[in-house]
Structure formats: C-alpha cells, structure tokens
Amino acid sequence: MESKPEIKLGLEGVYFTESEICKVDGINGKLYYYGYSIETLAENSNFEETCFLLLNGRLPDESELSAFRKTLASERELPAEIVSVIRASARTANAMDLLRSTFSMLSLYDKDANDNSEEANMRKSIRFMSKIASITAAIGSFRQGREYVKPDSSMGHVENFLYMLNGKKPMAEEVKILDLMFLLHAEHSSNASTFSGIVTASTLSDLHSSITSAIGTLKGPLHGGADEAALHMMHAIGSPENTEAYINDALAGKKKIMGFGHRVYKTYDPRARIIKRRLEELRGSADEEVKNLTNIALAAEKLMIDKLGASHGIWPNVDFFSGPVYTDLGIPDYLFTPMFAVSRVPGWCAHIMQYWKSNRLVRPLEYYNGEIDRKYVPIEGR
Ligand code: CMC
C-alpha cells in the first residue's frame, strides 16, 4: 500500500514557477513590481506607465509611453454585439457574470484570437486593458439606466473609464484617486486568479480563455469579491458606535471579516496602508454617507488589529478600505470587483506571457482515498 504523501491544501507554501515580475514580502509587508516598491510607484508613477512596466519589464521613455497610451486609446471601442448583450441582459445579473461572459465574447471579434505568437499576445494584452475598461463602464452605465457612452480617444485610460461610466468628464482629482487604486491592484504575484489564468494557459489554450478563467476566479469573496463584501458589512454595521458589537458577534459566530487576512501577508498589506491615507482624508468629507462609512472602516480596523493583528497575523488587506473610497467617487458597489479585474489585466497577461516562455502543463496530483475494484451490481439488484 502506497504511503500517504503530504498534502498541501490550497497549494499553501508551494512554489510552482519563478518570476521577476512581482515580489510579495508577506513578513515585512512589502510589495514590488519589477523591483520598484509599491510606495515608489504610487508616489511617482501612474497606471498606464505601470502597465507598460508590467508588460515590458522596464519603465518607458517619453515616446514609448506616448505610443503606448495611443494604442490603449485606439483599442477602446467595443463590438456593437457586446454592447447589445450588455443591454439585453437582466438588470439583476451579477456584474462579474456579465463581465466574464462579455469578455469571453471578445474573442469572437478579434482577428488575433487564436494567434499565440508573442507579438499577437502583446497586442491582445493592451487591447484587453482597454476593452475590459469599456465593458465595465458600459455595465455600470447600463445598470444606472443610461445609454452607452462611446469612448473618447483624447482622454487617458482612467479619465475615459469614468467618462464612459458617468457620461461626463471627471474632475482631475477623481481621476488621480482612481488611477492610484488601479495601480495598487495591477499585479500581485501568483494569487488565485493569476494562477487560474496560468493553469488555462499551460494547456496552450489562448489568452482570451486564460483571462476569462482569471475573471471567474477573481469573483469569489475570498479573493477580489472581498471589496464589495467589506462595504456590505460596513453598511450592515450602520454607525461607528455599532462597530464593536458587530465585530464581536461576527467573530464569536466564527464569521470572517471581509477585507482582513491574507495567505501571504501576515502583517499590514502595504496597499491597504496607502489606501488608508486616502480614507483619513475622507474623514472630513461633506458627504454624510462617505464620512460615516469612513469612520466605521477606521473603527473596525482598530478593533480587528487589537484583536487579531499581532496575535493571529490577521491585518487589513487591499480590499478593506476600497469601499468608502469608491463610494466617494460615486462608484456603485457591484462594480468594485469588475474594476479590480480592469486593473489586474496587465498583471494577468504579464504572468501568462512569461509562463508561456517555458511552458509546462499544470497538472498536480490528487491522493485517492477511496475503494478499488468494487463489485458492479446490476441496477435491478441494488
Ligand atoms: N476574519 C476573521 N478570521 C479570519 C479572517 C478574517 N478575515 N481571515 C482568517 N481568519 C482566521 C480563520 O478563521 C482561521 O482561524 P482558525 O485557525 O481558528 O480556523 C485562521 O484565521 C486562518 O485562516 P484561513 O482562512 O485558513 O487562512 P488563509 O491563508 O486561507 O487566509 C484568506 C487567507 C484571504 C482566505 C482569509 O484571510 C480570508 O478569508 N479573509 C477574508 C476574505 C478577504 O478579505 N479576501 C481578500 C484577500 S486579499 C485581496 C485579494 O486576494 O483579492
């Protein structure tokens, strides 16, 4: 009888490949994209430049960045059929389901769909960044009862996203904040959605299929879906004074507090630290709802750190503070996870293209613990 191997549930602690794209230092709470710390990029860079970095492994010079932005702008238009599907879908449809379905449909209209050359994959990666933003904005404008707003190629990536979503040119400050949020979400090593994209890619399937797999994986509340779930919890708490009783009850009932904890970070997630700075500014917001959510979030953070921070290694992650920040920007909760996908596309594509350079089929083992050689009993005898 074979002896039972060690089983790593959830592949916890297992290295499956090497990469220089991203380092997540879970002990010291540090994150690097191609060696640049997230704090350095947040302070000095922007989402478009960071996308170039993730796809090319280096920062662009001025003319490269300008060409990259032009290509992004030229790829924003959606096939009319996809806009029609969004508009024909049930208003109650889950926004991530709609994003996953319509993103998948893009392959039907893409002449590069089944070209797996490096050049075609780079073209598709840039195209995906533009089109997933347009799809997400179209879902949002449809849900809010507005007409589809055609993209404006004179605008930057984030500015155009907000323009397509709301039908009006956003303020520079709004663009700056959302650009930072996109940059912070652009990449995170071998997280579940990136791994899922790589699993699909490793069969030598195509980039559309791989990113569709990643979108489906991101949806779950243990991953990208936590941002929306965290905001729902803040709404359920209702006021800062209720926070302690709510958290105590939830923990006593063994419920997880969404937006806390991480498989790799056993300390404060550096992205959450950066978003928290924005949240602290929102304490003085003129909008009562935003101010209330902000105070609930800050009260919950303090309580959770006191209870589970140092003792259990459960700290705020990137998804905890996003809700009040997005609410302040007027973004509805059902778009939080789709926007996570919009910002994660460069990271997904960068990893998949890199994995293909030395591709090996991902095919782990499962230990069989059932019976063998069971006797087949015909149906009438069971
Ligand atoms: N609230 C309360 N308890 C928690 C939490 C939490 N958010 N997270 C972990 N724990 C407890 C958990 O109950 C378990 O306790 P015990 O040992 O007594 O059973 C212990 O900590 C270990 O938790 P785990 O779920 O086995 O550990 P993991 O490595 O699988 O955790 C996690 C990672 C993200 C799945 C988990 O922390 C979690 O479910 N957090 C809430 C969902 C969330 O915020 N997800 C976003 C992750 S970061 C961004 C992203 O990927 O999108």
pLDDT in tens, 54-80: 999 999 999 999 999 999 999 999 999
Alpha-carbon distance 68 to 130, whole Å?
Answer: 11
Distances (CA, A) of 67 to 9, 52, 351: 45, 11, 23
Based on the residue annotation, tell me whether 351 is a catalytic residue of this protein. no
Distance (Å) from CA 258 to ligand 1 centroid? 8
How confident is the model at residue 135, as a pLDDT?
A: 98
% of residues, the chain, pLDDT over 70: 100
Based on the residue annotation, tell me whether 312 is a catalytic residue of this protein. no
pTM, two decimals, is 0.96
Domain residue ranges of the chain, discontinuous segments joined by +? 22-221+339-356, 226-328
For 302-355, the pLDDT digits (tens) are 999 999 999 999 999 999 999 999 999 999 999 999 999 999 999 999 999 999
Distance (Å) from CA 201 to ligand 1 centroid? 28
Q: Quick one: 357 exposed, middle or buried, by C-beta within 10 A (0-12, 13-18, 19+)? A: exposed
| Candidates 262, 269, 328, 351; catalytic one | 262
Ligand 1: lining residues by beta carbon, under 6 Å: 191, 222-224, 226, 256-263, 312, 314, 317-319
For 176-235, the pLDDT digits (tens) are 999 999 999 999 999 999 999 999 999 999 999 999 999 999 999 999 999 999 999 999
The residue behind tokens 């007409």 is 147
% of residues, the chain, pLDDT over 90: 96
The best mutation among 256, 275, 306, 315 to test binding of ligand 1, ranked by most ligand atoms within 8 Å of the C-beta, falls on 256
22-221+339-356 against 226-328: fold identical: no
pLDDT, averaged across the chain: 96
Residue nearest to atom 34 of ligand 1 (CA): 262
Distance (Å) from CA 190 to ligand 1 centroid? 17
Indicate the CATH number of 226-328 among 3.90.79.10, 1.10.230.10, 1.20.120.1080, 1.10.3720.10: 1.10.230.10
Q: Regarding the domain with residue range 22-221+339-356, which homologous superfamily does it belong to in the CATH classification?
A: Citrate Synthase, domain 1 (1.10.580.10)
The residue behind tokens 């969004």 is 86
Q: What is the mean pLDDT of residues 277-284?
A: 88
Q: What is the mean pLDDT of residues 140-147?
A: 94
Based on the residue annotation, tell me whether 262 is a catalytic residue of this protein. yes
Query: Does residue 282 carry a pLDDT above 90?
Result: no
How confident is the model at residue 299, as a pLDDT?
A: 96
Query: Does residue 1 carry a pLDDT above 80?
Result: no
Q: What is the mean pLDDT of residues 7-15?
A: 97
Helix runs in the chain, H state only: 38-44, 47-56, 62-74, 80-88, 95-105, 118-143, 157-166, 172-185, 192-201, 207-218, 226-237, 243-252, 270-282, 288-304, 310-312, 322-328, 336-357
Distance (Å) from CA 222 to ligand 1 centroid? 8
